[in-house]
Structure 1
């Protein structure tokens, strides 16, 4: 979940996904790696090759030839930008409603973020970002937010018109589809997160998916200190195959690979259940005048329940009513756009000021601020769903939706 949660007296259910389904299989997989004493992915006394196995299965899930496991979702975004060949100072267009990791990744790749409006899908407005393209623009980063895809086809069309790279941030949408295609494998590269709240989790971790062999090669090298182990030849580290360049240590551990391989088995049925739950709730409330977030692809979504209220005050009242009933709910990112973060607004990086303060995006402020997302949990019972329906109905009947 990416919502701000008020503290209710008691939650009726946990808004957890992959973590809620942890069981003996995850424990056994982690223990096997521990007992092998081979926690490093490239060698050990009894190497299990768990990261390599996870990468192969993750790539297959996304119908792509390449996947690289890394240490976090932010690392995945950074590696993907490096893999695509971002030049120093290259601009990356980022939606205004997203996690700060998107900005941090652009900065880590020595790029410059440029902030674009969202629409009522809460993702990048396909009609609004083209005017931001300049001769310095390198890529656009659509973010698939809270288990729903951004509207990729028109975004891809604009990118193709200007010769731009497309990096999908699928951190919050592992397993989600867009018009029959898995998100994260539609653009030039896709980045995923396996942090604690995500659809599958190892506590931390990330992955890059791509169809481009050159992008894959650069990602593999960069996450491994420029290829210290991936290009080893005999006893020599950082071999000479290909053009050498320096990198970072953003490697995934064998324990993470083992746990994620188990979690991957749970992903598709979990998302189907969450999607069915969201549809049931909306159908049960069809008689009410509720404005739901626009989903560019309802069939491919991973289960989202986000309302758009009249204004910020109405959203706050609605959240208060739901949390009082033990229903996890909140406004996405507390209603604050990513460039309203003080450091982002000031362009203040670890090595100095990198850009001037961006202007306000009032349309995006208004949309995000009046959003209310209800957390869905992987272990919700039918009684929990019924309670959720009655809680939403009571909040609406109590006047929480109005002025």
Structure 2
């Protein structure tokens, strides 16, 4: 990494490691002329193979490959049997797709605070539960698992379904188990900046066979194609229903399959980089984001500054030194989105304006995330540490961010 303003290393993860394996996998499918997962002149069954391989990575019995992370969340809730109008508790700090999936499943989002892990606060979760609450959607944000122990304890105590939004956390673990298999269902994204990517794509992970069957049917026109051309799926006990098309293509599955062997080693390398940076700046008064399970993290460097202004200044100084840094979601919780704030869906206004979640706003606005890339060299890491030490405000502040 050369020094100077405007010079920076790339923060791509899976994309930085792309090479001949992806090219060969894509070319094989293209030459087969069989891009649809169920038939073609020379079908290679790459989607089916990807589902089996991803189940092994996620530690679950079943995976359903779908078209996006939002599709995965929607299909997961449909598979779990969400009733119309049921409430799903969502953390205030997340991508709008989490909310969009609840809406697509005809549920109603209810927003809870995050804590200093920037993931769902279990205490706030319990405060938001009403007689209308059906489920909770913990979000494993920026390659850090939510604190699933206390979250699932609250959920089980109240009989709630747990849908893990693991869109940003493929390969991440929590207390020795992969995310996506800790709740009733998990949902992953394979969009361009994710840990494995085909530009788009998603996966639903489940253990229960009946939930798997409903997810598989829902994303596949209700089961029209699951048993090949013309057949339908269902029994007298579980009759067919109308679904939609959220299927993954053979080309997407082939490209993703080429990356799976690199996923866990890449997360391990980025986790080691993050630990090195924290260790080499340990003499500074840095308030790092709390990691509910550092050993399972996929590599995160997020810290809290004293104010929004100070956070913006730190980002600017790092960027000027060639270090990619930003404040997540521009420092705005998902409730700052106008459509979310006003409850506007394709079917009209479905909920009242949510209250201000000031703890989440304060933490997010004062946070700074430093991007880590899968192709970072040791020189890049050294330059990051040097720039960090030079730019970080050194004055002492209170120990607990508010």
TM-score, length of structure 1 as denominator length: 0.95
User: CA deviation digits over 1:198-249, x for unaligned, max 9?
Assistant: 00000000000011111100100000011111144xx533244431111111
User: CA deviation digits over 1:246-289, x for unaligned, max 9?
Assistant: 11110000001000001111111111110000000000000111
Give the whole-Å Cα distance in 1 for the aligned partners of 2:31 and 2:395. Answer: 58
Alignment partner of 1:314 is 2:310: yes
User: CA deviation digits over 1:27-59, x for unaligned, max 9?
Assistant: 110010000000000111110100100000000
| CA 152–240 in structure 1, closer or farther in 2 if over 3 Å, else same | closer
User: CA deviation digits over 1:128-168, x for unaligned, max 9?
Assistant: 11111111111000000000000001000010011000000
User: CA deviation digits over 1:354-376, x for unaligned, max 9?
Assistant: 11110101111000000000000
The CA RMSD measured in Å over matched residues stands at: 1.5
**Aligned residue for 2:142?**
146
The residue correspondences of 1:108-187 to structure 2 (distance < 5 A) are 108-187=104-183
SS in 2 for 1:82: helix
Divergent runs of 4+, >4 A: 397-402
**Aligned residue for 1:237?**
231
> Does the aligned pair in 2 maintain the 1:309–1:401 contact within 8 Å?
no
**Aligned residue for 2:334?**
338
Once the two structures are TM-superposed, the CA of residue 399 in structure 1 deviates from its matched residue by 7.2
Structure 2, unpaired ranges of 5+: none
| CA 11–107 in structure 1, closer or farther in 2 if over 3 Å, else same | farther
**Aligned residue for 2:95?**
99
Give the whole-Å Cα distance in 1 for the aligned partners of 2:27 and 2:396. Answer: 49
Give the whole-Å Cα distance in 1 for the aligned partners of 2:383 and 2:218. Answer: 48
Give the whole-Å Cα distance in 1 for the aligned partners of 2:323 and 2:210. Answer: 47
**Aligned residue for 1:222?**
218
The residue correspondences of 1:35-114 to structure 2 (distance < 5 A) are 35-114=31-110
The residue correspondences of 1:268-287 to structure 2 (distance < 5 A) are 268-287=264-283
Structure 1, unpaired ranges of 5+: 1-7
> Does the aligned pair in 2 maintain the 1:11–1:328 contact within 8 Å?
no
**Aligned residue for 1:5?**
none
The partner residue of 2:30 within 29, 34, 54 is 34
**Aligned residue for 2:184?**
188
**Aligned residue for 1:294?**
290
SS in 2 for 1:12: coil
| CA 224–400 in structure 1, closer or farther in 2 if over 3 Å, else same | farther
The partner residue of 1:198 within 194, 197, 204 is 194
Counting matched residue pairs gives: 393
TM-score, length of structure 2 as denominator length: 0.96
| CA 400–338 in structure 1, closer or farther in 2 if over 3 Å, else same | farther
Give the whole-Å Cα distance in 2 for the aligned partners of 1:249 and 1:400. Answer: 55
